[in-house]
Structure 1
Amino acid sequence: MLFSYKYVSHSIEAFQTWLDHLVKEVWCKATDTFTLDLLHPTLREVVEDIFNTEEDKTKGKIKTDWLYGPITTIYDIFKDELSSTQRQQVAEWYDVNNDIEALCSCDPTKTPRTYADVRAINEDLEEHLKAFCQSLFTNVIGLDAVTSRIGDIDSHYIEFVKTNKAGKCPYCGYNDIKGEHHSRREAYDHFLPKGVYPFNSVNFRNLAPMCHECNSSYKLKLDPVRHIDPIRRKNTDAPRKAFYSFSANSPAISVTVTLKTDDAINMTCNDIELELDSPGCDQEMESWCDVFGIEERYKAKFCAENDGKAWLQHVIEESVNYGRSVDELLAEIDRAATRAPLDSSNFLKNAFLTACKRKKILR
């Protein structure tokens, strides 16, 4: 990714605190009959409100038991079907799966656990736990009983974009991210997919705004910390490092373009060689390129009429019409790319026009 987000604390994080208590102090220590008194006090209030008053606003106003039923069902599975060793194992998995930074760095002491691992312990647990964890984000976190206590995702988004002001998607570097002055927001992506990993669907260190193209056209359900089969475009079991969305240090990525043709008008992606590098981050770069289709997208941008070809035409016209040398214009673009690489895709513009100069398309 082109830069890291700065993490923003918000009251909505309390949901993860409730989940911490539910998994480790209630489910993993299940012995007697379940009572609401076992829950985190605020979660108990939420469960009671939802059970008594909330309605599913997406399915014809039919009252839905989002929390009480699933919580008790999973509690009974822990109590009746899991050994003490298995319960302790799940508690450890919970901690590991919520250390998103460690999982992105492939920390050898922390192996992420998937729903397949849960299934190996108990198939019923996998089924109910997966439905529960996914529902927390898709349904429960937006209910009035929750938002009235800890705020909603929209308010988190406003605080997030007030702090992260770049206005560009860090995963591609050129698409816009809607800011505080928009009436709509970008979708939050689960960087480690919520359909693969239990327990972190409402962990905001695993959630970040992402442009629609990155989220819905390329990343989809792909797992950044697992290698991808390039033919089937499916994850394999082989682990690898990935850039962490909230890393303290943004990656230093260089873009080098080499052109195999001097026919700029008819240039295609096959005429472009692209080298992307970040010293010491080979696996992270591989993951980034695979998951977000970076090489394909950057090459397509170079070939586009209103991107690469327009950049080239602008330099030619400036040189011809205003008597400015190509070297002077390229030096100006290079300075802009150093000062503001994301502005007008300067980091790509500079790499592409430098390649045009080397190929003598620009003289």
Structure 2
Amino acid sequence: MLFSYTYVPHQMEKMQEFIDFIFFEVWCKAPDSERFNLSLFATKPELHDVMQAFFYSDANGADFFYGHVERIYNLFSKLDEPQIEQFKQWYRGNNNVEKVCANDSITQLVRYADIPVALKDLSDQLSSFFKGLYSQSLLDLTTLRNKIGDIDNHYRSFLKANKAGKCPFCGISDLHGQYHTKREAYDHYLPKALYPFNSINLRNLVPACHNCNSSYKTSKDPAHPVKDPAGGTKRRKVFYPYCTDPQPIEIVVNIAKPDVSALTPQDISIHFGPATLVDEIDTWRDVYGIDERYKAKVLGENDGKYWITQVLDEWQEEGRSPEAFLQILAKQTLKSPFAEANFLKMPFLEACRAKGVFDAANPL
């Protein structure tokens, strides 16, 4: 991840508060409580209002929410104390996204696939509920929206604090901004298809460009490799999208030959640093297909090859040397690393210079 987002508090956090209450104060207390009824929500008045409205509503979203809360309550009522405690640890772990990203050994993380087969009915109901929490048919209900606001409003607030205009996961795609009528999709960083409990947690929701979200990451699991060589449940480190003290990513490009017109992806190697982030960088490269995408960028007619043409045109037509061009570009890169993909443009052109692409005897 090339840079971190600034976290933006918002009214929508109240939805997570509602889910926290339902989990800890309703579901986890089900074995020792009465039959499911609205009085279970009395100590959370705003949630009680929502549940009462949903009880009398015939809207699909209302029926979905109320019905799942009741069905899961009845399934929790059959659990014993150790099982309840295990679910509490899983819930806390899945919602502590920062510690999950750091691969904290104490933080327990659970996927639907990790829930015991004996609890399949409960797992299925949790899966349906937490995947459906993010649906517009629910979030658009007036009763709920009046309490929690809406995601479009959050995105507008988000843009005021995050003005880079580029996707931080790749650095090469624009994000829809204040002058667009559409917003970017929010990626569930820990995919809602794989993980329960955090589908409405704003710290697990990150705007991402279409390529990163829908073409490369899709439902890949950042916290677990696709194939664990040891055959177990090994986890891995991953960049935390809302890190408050991020380290800049270093990029070095090498090319195998000076004939750039004949370069192929196999002729390009890209090295990332710093070494202190090697685990996070490896995960990032795997999940977002970074090597493939960056190589395609530097080989593109309107990207890498055009960058070379810029240097040669400056040299041949304006009398400015490639060295002078790169010195100015270096300053621009420090100031605006993501404008025109300078963060990648600079190391690629440095690789070209080192390979003699700009030598007078070796014009393009």
- TM interval, short-chain normalised: over 0.9
Q: Deviations over 1:311-356 (max 9, x none)?
A: 0001101110000011000111111111111111001110110000
| Structure 1 consecutive aligned stretches of length 4 or more whose deviation exceeds 4 Å | none
Displacement of 1:141:
2.6
User: Which of 38, 41, 44 is 2:45 aligned to?
Assistant: 41
**Are residues 1:82 and 2:86 paired?**
no
The residue that corresponds to 1:19 in the other structure is 19
Question: Retained in 2: the 8 A contact 1:86–1:121?
Answer: no
Q: Which runs of 5+ in 2 are unaligned?
A: 360-364
| Secondary structure of residue in 1 paired with 2:283 | helix
| Corresponding residue for residue 212 of structure 1 | 210
For 1:324, the aligned partner's letter is R
Counterpart contact for 2:260–2:357, Cα < 8 Å: yes
2:326 to 320, 330, 333: 330
Q: Tell me the equivalent position of 1:32.
A: 34
Could you report, residue by residue, the CA deviation over 1:181-237 in whole angstroms, capped at 9, with x for unpaired residues? 211000000101111111000000000100000000000001111123399xxx983
Amino acid in structure 2 at the alignment position of 1:345 = A
> Structure 1 residue 93 and structure 2 residue 90: aligned?
yes
Tell me, yes or no, if structure 1 residue 302 matches structure 2 residue 293. Answer: no
Residue 152 of structure 2 aligns with an amino acid whose one-letter code is D
Does structure 2 conserve the Cα–Cα contact (< 8 Å) formed by 1:243 and 1:288?
yes
The answer to which of 82-91 and 96-105 deviates more is 82-91
- Among candidates 246, 258, 262, match of residue 262 of structure 1: 258
Q: 1:100 to 1:87 in 2, by over 3 A?
A: same
* 2:315 is equivalent to residue 312 of structure 1: no
Q: In structure 2, what is the Cα distance between the partners aligned to 1:174 and 1:250?
A: 19
Residues paired across the two proteins, number = 353
Contact 1:54 1:144 in 2 (8 A): no
Q: Of 332, 336, 341, which aligns to 2:337?
A: 341
Q: Name which of structure 1's ranges 201-210 and 87-96 shifts more when overlaid on structure 2.
A: 87-96
Describe the shift of the 1:230–1:243 C-alpha distance in structure 2 as closer, same or farther (beyond 3 A). same
238, 243, 246: which one pairs with 2:239?
243
| SS state at 1:281 partner | helix
TM-score by length of 2: 0.93
Partner Cα distance (1:278, 1:326) in 2: 28
Inter-partner Cα distance in structure 1 for 2:314 and 2:57? 66
TM-score when normalising by structure 1: 0.93
Local SS of the residue matching 1:344: helix
The answer to which of 144-153 and 284-293 deviates more is: 144-153
Instruction: Give the conservation status (yes or no) of the 8 Å contact 2:14–2:147.
Output: no
Q: 1:117 aligns with which of 114, 117, 141?
A: 114
TM-superposed deviation, 1:54: 5.7
Report SS of the residue matched to 1:287: helix
Query: Letter of the aligned partner of 1:38 in structure 2?
Result: L
Q: How far apart, in 2, do the equivalents of 1:15 and 1:77 lie?
A: 23
Tell me the distance in 1 between the aligned counterparts of 2:40 and 2:318: 76
Counterpart of 1:180 (choices 174, 178, 181) is 178
User: Matched residues in 2 for 1:76 and 1:86: separation?
Assistant: 15
- d(CA) in 1 for partners of 2:182, 2:67: 34
SS of equivalent to 1:240: coil
CA shift in 2, pair 1:111/1:64, >3 Å: closer
Q: 1:50–1:66: 8 Å Cα contact kept in structure 2? A: no
How far apart, CA to CA, are the structure 1 residues paired with 2:123 and 2:12?
A: 26
Corresponding residue of 1:272: 268
Note if contact 1:256-1:351 (Cα within 8 Å) is conserved in structure 2.
Answer: yes
- Which residue matches 1:59? none
Q: Determine the C-alpha separation between the residues in 2 that align with 1:236 and 1:198.
A: 20
- Provide the C-alpha distance between the structure 1 equivalents of 2:54 and 2:339, rounded to a whole number of angstroms: 46
What do the CA deviations read for 1:51-107 (whole angstroms, capped 9, x no partner)?
433634xxxxxx76111111111111111x211221122122111110000000011
Paired residue type of 2:15: F
Contact persistence 2:57–2:63 (CA under 8 A): no
Query: Residue 226 of structure 2: SS of its match in structure 1?
Result: strand
CA 1:348–1:143 in structure 2 vs 1: closer, same or farther (change >3 Å)? same
Cα deviation, residue 146, structure 1: 1.5
Task: Out of 272-281 and 140-149, give the one that drifted further.
Answer: 140-149
> Match of 2:322, as an amino acid?
V
Secondary structure at 1:6's aligned position in 2? Answer: coil
The SS at the match of 1:215 is helix
Q: Distance in 2 between matches of 1:119 and 1:151?
A: 36
State the 1:282 CA deviation.
Answer: 1.2
1:144: Cα distance to partner? 2.3
Unaligned runs of 5+ in 1: 57-62
SS at match of 2:12: helix
SS at structure 1 position matched to 2:63: coil
What is the Cα-based RMSD across aligned positions, in Å? 1.8
State the match for 2:59 in structure 1: 55
Cα 1:54–1:176 shift into 2, 3 Å: farther
